[in-house]
Chain A
Amino acid sequence: MAKLYVQAVPTTDLNRNTEWFTYPGVWTIYILILFFSWLVVLSVFGCSPGMAWTIVHLSHFVVTYQFFHWKKGTPFAEDQGVYNRLTWWEQIENGKQLTRNRKFLTVVPVVLYLIASHTTDYQHPMLFFNTLAVFILVVAKFPHMHKVRIFGINADQ
């Protein structure tokens, strides 16, 4: 550890669901969890490294799509439902687009895609699924897609 202590300016975000993302250490732990899960997949399934990266990439797609772009609202009742129409991605940093955190979160699936495709040598069934996953994830994170519900999918009742 280069620095034993870290300092961070306290945030003014009142939304408890998203303010934790601005504190230090989040990016590091995200990357470490991905790497750790690749090791776990390798040990459990005993497959090739490329296959393991594909599995990590696809499960990362499922998990992040579900929690960032599908589930709406917050897991607590204290904010009285003001965020009930917004997904987590739309809630972070009060809806401001193209911040550092958002850019980081857009880059991670792309990097994972590149690693997965490279280690599987761009072979066919995996390449198709990986490409589909990264396409959906990156399009969902575009600034123009803020509060857009295509064909009414995931719109409110």
Chain B
Amino acid sequence: MRARGSSCRRPEHKSTDLSLEQRFIDSVSSGGTDLGRAKFQRTPASQSPAFSLLNRDLSRGSSNPLLLRHLNQTLAAGRSEMITIPYLTALTTYFSYGLLFVFGQLRDFFRKIIDWWSHSSLQGYAPICLGLEDFYIRRLYLRIQDCFNRPISSPPDSWFDVVERVSKDNNKTLQRTKNVSRCLNLGSYNYLGFAAADEYCTPRVIESLKRFSPSTCSTRVDGGTTTLHTKLEQCVARFVGKPASVVFGMGYVTNSAILPVLIGKGGLIISDSLNHNSIVNGARGSGATVRVFQHNTPSHLEKVLREQIADGQPRTHRPWKKIFVLVEGIYSMEGELCKLPEIVAVCKKYKAYVYLDEAHSIGRQPFCPSPLCELLGVDTADVDVMMGTFTKSFGSCGGYIAGSEELIQYLKYACPAHLYATSISPPAAQQIISSIEVILGEDGSSRGARKIARIRENSNFFRSELQKMGFEVLGDNDSPVMPVMLYNPSKIPAFSRECLKRNVAVVTVAFPATPLLLARARICISAAHTREDLVKALEVISSVGDLVGSRVAKFSHMAFRG
């Protein structure tokens, strides 16, 4: 978590009386098109690192609020991100985890004694899993299992049906019942509201389902490339602003299958410390040496790069074959943006490739090309490989990689996910194409622009209200992902269950997906949420927060967000 900027630095929240469309049009006309023009001017690396691009937009009077705030951050003295936590909370959190750990160990000890006396069913075979590796699952996760993996029985729209489950053996196993409760959905990645039936997308998807059938039943190279796939790849490349792209059936697989193709033994991967598991697995699977830099800290990235380049490969000290820096556009557990201009500047200086995972940031600006690069003033040609998924903003499944023609051509020959995995399902592909058309306004209406404005509105409203109520909320402004800090492990199931009783479904995350002290409830706002939905959510969260005692941020943080 970091300290947030004080309220005087948020000019964009003043006028709430203008209609959504009016405010959106204002921001487009004053800030947007300028940025659009700025993007197409190719700036030579030596002359203009990120700062001068940003300065030029600032001088043009850009009113894009996110850009302004980011400018403030970059122009300030480069402080690395700090974690702020109340001291007593830290102590009690350690104590709680210690207590849970001790009880788990005691139970394991007694279980071992009892099992020693009973007959083993293994009969000479080695156990698949030693008791040590799943200690966390057995003794900590299973106790609160009912807060995770909840089955739903309707599309994940703003309201959905959550199936109730009961347990007869104290949460060791759960059985589904026939009862279903209608809950407000604060957990799905449904940012633009495409998860439910859409008036433009759904008829086209059904038509493509009838025409192409649910599955291509083949890999891309054998017989699984339909006209939809080629159209989708062109559409995605155009949307992102790169010459070409390749599309895969699953987002996780995109990262974990592409990284081993791009880099191998003898190469160096430097990845952000809070990168997603798919990136970590892909990096590990590639065989390259992996180093980590402090989250979102370009100065530390530079330090690590210098050290590693000077050192060379381990043991032989030969120069590295190639260097990749892996960052994400928006970090899903923090809700904050990447400091892309500085990172790209550092990578250019040391001739390292940049791999940007835009899973959460794609699709939320109506301009071509890549919205994040657009927003932060980075030329898309400076980011070498852009990756994204279609699950978050497009209501579909799958992932893509976009880059230069030669890179995509090479990937199509070399990537196992392209050669051996079934291609993306045709109705899913059609959903992506249709939703891209809606976002860009090519369907003839302004629904896309309105959705984008609404999600920004909703996010800002919700975040500011939560902060006013005294919750510690992470994430940048305009980011629809807002983690509400809970810290203590016992508050996680309490928060989750109490919210469910009041018909609000939230996703709570704890160790080891987050650092030990920083357990949180992650709220994802969608463009499908109406103002009444948000108000109800705020009421519920407020009462549950009082019950659970998680209103820790009594003061507004005056420290400058660095």
Contact = CB atoms under 8 A, between A and B. Distances in A.
Contact of B133 (A8, A32, A33, A74): A74
Given A14-B273, A19-B516, A25 B91 contact: yes
B259 to A, nearest CB: 16
B80 interface: yes
Contacts, number: 101
Interface in B170-218: none
Nearest to A67: B105
Best-surrounded residue of A3, A8, A23, A75 (most CB of chain B within 10 A): A75
B77 interface: no
Contact of B94 (A11, A14, A26, A75): A26
A25 B82 contact: no
A16 interface: yes
A125 interface: no
Contact of A23 (B88, B90, B95, B295): B90
Interface residues of B, number: 36
B512 A76 contact: yes
A43 B83 CA distance: 38
Contact of A78 (B277, B294, B515): B277
B95 A75 contact: no
A53 to B, nearest CB: 21
Given A14-B273, A75-B132, A9 B512 contact: no
A146 interface: no
A5 interface: yes
B27 to A, nearest CB: 33
Contacts of B517: 20, 23, 25
A25 B90 contact: yes
B81 interface: yes
B511 A73 contact: no
Best-surrounded residue of A10, A71, A76 (most CB of chain B within 10 A): A10
Contact of A4 (B86, B273, B295, B512): B86
Contact of B87 (A4, A14, A16): A4
A78 B91 contact: no
B276 to A, nearest CB: 12
Contacts of A24: 85, 87, 90
A44 interface: no
Contacts of B86: 4-6
A99 interface: no
B293 interface: yes
Contacts of A25: 87, 90-91, 94, 517
A71 B132 contact: yes
Given A12-B293, A16-B511, A28 B91 contact: yes
Nearest to A17: B512
Given A28-B91, A78-B512, A23 B132 contact: no
B309 interface: no
B136 interface: yes
B91 A32 contact: yes
A73 B133 contact: yes
B148 interface: no
A75 B90 contact: no
Given A20-B515, A23-B517, A24-B90, A7 B132 contact: no
Nearest to A1: B87
Interface in B448-485: none
A150 interface: no
A6 B85 contact: yes
Given A10-B83, A76-B133, A29 B95 contact: yes
B351 to A, nearest CB: 23
Given A23-B83, A24-B87, A12 B133 contact: no
B133 A29 contact: no
A10 B294 contact: yes
Given A20-B517, A75-B135, A7 B277 contact: no
Contacts of A32: 91
Contacts of A9: 80-83, 294
Interface of A: 1, 3-12, 14, 16, 19-20, 23-26, 28-29, 32-33, 71-78, 80-81
- 6 closest pairs, A vs B, by CB? A20-B516, A25-B90, A75-B135, A16-B512, A7-B82, A29-B94
24 contacts: A1-B88, A5-B84, A5-B86, A5-B87, A6-B87, A9-B81, A9-B82, A10-B81, A10-B295, A11-B515, A16-B512, A16-B516, A23-B516, A24-B85, A24-B87, A29-B91, A29-B98, A72-B132, A73-B130, A74-B133, A75-B133, A75-B136, A76-B134, A77-B134
Interface of B: 80-88, 90-91, 94-95, 98, 129-130, 132-137, 273, 277, 280, 284, 292-295, 300, 511-512, 515-517
Given A20-B516, A24-B87, A76-B137, 10 more contacts: A1-B87, A4-B86, A5-B85, A8-B82, A9-B83, A25-B90, A26-B94, A72-B132, A74-B133, A77-B134
